[in-house]
Amino acid sequence: MVLLLLVDLDPDLAGLSPLGGFFVLRTVVGGRTVSVSSLPTLAQAYDPSTSDPDPLGVRIRKVAAALGAPELRIAASVAHLGLVARLWSTALGCAVLYGSVPDLDPRLLHWDAEGSAPDDLWLAQVRPLPGDAATVVDVVLHGHLEPLAAALRARHRLAAGLLWGNAGSALAGAVRELDRWARANGRTEAAARARALAGELFAHPRLTATGALTGTAFRRRSCCLYYRVPGGGLCGDCCFTWPPGSSPRATSG
What are the tens digits of pLDDT across the range 192-217?
Answer: 999 999 999 999 999 999 999 999 99
Distance, in Å, from the CA atom of 88 to the CA atom of 84, rounded to the nearest integer, reads 6
Q: Does the pLDDT value for residue 5 go beyond 60?
A: no
Phi, psi of 124 (to 5 degrees): -75, -30
Stretch 117-127: mean pLDDT:
93
Higher pLDDT, 133 or 232: 133
Q: Is the dihedral of CA 220, 186, 132, 143 positive or negative?
A: negative
Q: How confident is the model at residue 51 (pLDDT cuts 50, 70, 90)?
A: low
Domain ranges in the chain are 14-210
Q: Closest Cα partner for 200 from 171, 162, 238, 237?
A: 171
Distance, in Å, from the CA atom of 63 to the CA atom of 59, rounded to the nearest integer, reads 6
Q: pTM of the entire structure? A: 0.91
Q: Does the pLDDT value for residue 105 go beyond 60?
A: yes
What are the tens digits of pLDDT across the range 134-154?
Answer: 999 999 999 999 999 999 999
Phi, psi of 231 (to 5 degrees): 80, -5
Q: Does the pLDDT value for residue 251 go beyond 80?
A: no
What are the tens digits of pLDDT across the range 54-76?
Answer: 999 999 999 999 999 999 999 99
Q: How confident is the model at residue 1 (pLDDT cuts 50, 70, 90)?
A: very low
How buried is residue 147: exposed, middle or buried, by Cβ count under 10 Å (0-12/13-18/19+)? middle
